[in-house]
Amino acid sequence: MPLPSALSKRMSSAITSPAFFEAKYRRAADPWNFAGSPYELNRYARIMNSLHPRRFVRAFEAGCSIGVLTRQLAGICGHVDALDFSATAVSHARRRCCRFRNVDIRLGSVPADVPPRLYDLIVMSEIGYYFNRTQLLDLAAGLAAQLLPGGILLGAHWLGQSGDHLLSGDEVHETLSSLANLKAAWSQRYSGYRIEHWIKE
């Protein structure tokens, strides 16, 4: 049964709030074990392989967490703008990426604090299901508007179930696929997650 809209909005607001994520990072520096889990490291490797051999002028990463993927993106991008709204996560990410002068990690939320720049790569990894469908569509449409022609929107999401997710990974990718100005370019399902590219026409 669908939730009443007012309750759904309150749940969405609580789950996507800075306080919700900050509490997680204060309890554990790496609450999803992004830096050590073989599953996560394998997922990152496949994300990077999916982009090979292309290089990018400027990338944006939404919800960078502790910066594990950010650090890898720095090797194929002239500049990486990354954003997270947990101050603790941002602190860890900045330390992880401190030797990369082409990385700028800021505290803020999407879409409000996305830098007003154009990008040829935008990465949404493990973030889409913290929004309801309307919020995600609005967010993705705004990000797509900042993609240069030929630029890639990359989505990578887990396909399991979690009590703090408002959408499934498949629902996230179905929503991203509905954007009119993006063309599906590459897609792969793995054990437990999927990665897709959409290109700005």
Instruction: Tell me what pLDDT residue 29 has.
Output: 94
Tens-place pLDDT, residues 110-138:
999 999 999 999 999 999 999 999 999 99
Instruction: Tell me what pLDDT residue 115 has.
Output: 97
For the entire predicted model, the pTM comes to 0.92
Is the model's pLDDT at 6 over the cut of 60?
no
Is the model's pLDDT at 66 over the cut of 70?
yes
CATH number given to 5-200 = 3.40.50.150
Q: Where are the domains of the chain?
A: 5-200
Instruction: Tell me what pLDDT residue 7 has.
Output: 35
The percent of residues in the chain predicted with pLDDT above 70, rounded, is 92
In sequence order, what DSSP letters do the residues of the chain get, joined into one string?
A: -PPPHHHHHHHHHHHTSHHHHHHHHHH-SSTT-TTT-HHHHHHHHHHHHHHTT--EEEEEEES-TTSHHHHHHTTTEEEEEEEES-HHHHHHHHHHTTT-TTEEEEE--TTTT--S--EEEEEEES-GGGS-HHHHHHHHHHHHHTEEEEEEEEEEEE-S--TT-SS-HHHHHHHHHT-TTEEEEEEEEETTEEEEEEEE-
